Amino acid sequence: MPRAFTLTQLQHTVEAISGRHLHKQNFRRLVEQGKLVEPTGESEKSTGGRPAALFRFRREVQAERPAPGLRLGGGG
């Protein structure tokens, strides 16, 4: 991931790695509840629509948890 990214970019990356399609709102809820990212205060204007907020990974998350990440659930 680049230093700053949109949640859509992060979702597409997670989907590519996991091989699973994720529901947009559920993915965003997981990311927010997991406190894995924080807003940069900037936005990406070349999205083709409304500007998308940019995020970055929280550095503190590695110190807070031994294995930070998302639980995507079982099944497929």
Output the pTM of the full model.
Answer: 0.77
The answer to which of 30-34, 50-54, 57-61 has the lowest mean pLDDT is: 57-61
CA pair distance 76, 70, nearest whole angstrom: 16
Q: Which tokens belong to 73?
A: 């659930």
* Residue 2 counted as domain residue: no
CATH number, domain of 19, equals 1.10.10.10
What pLDDT was estimated at residue 24?
A: 95
Q: Domain range for residue 39?
A: 7-64
Q: Give one DSSP letter per residue of 32-43, joined into a string.
A: HHHT-EEEEEEE
Residue 70 above 90 pLDDT?
Answer: no
Question: What total of structural domains would you count in the chain?
Answer: 1
* Residue 17 counted as domain residue: yes
**How far is CA 17 from its chain centroid?**
13
CA pair distance 8, 18, nearest whole angstrom: 15
CA pair distance 49, 57, nearest whole angstrom: 24
* Residue 71 counted as domain residue: no
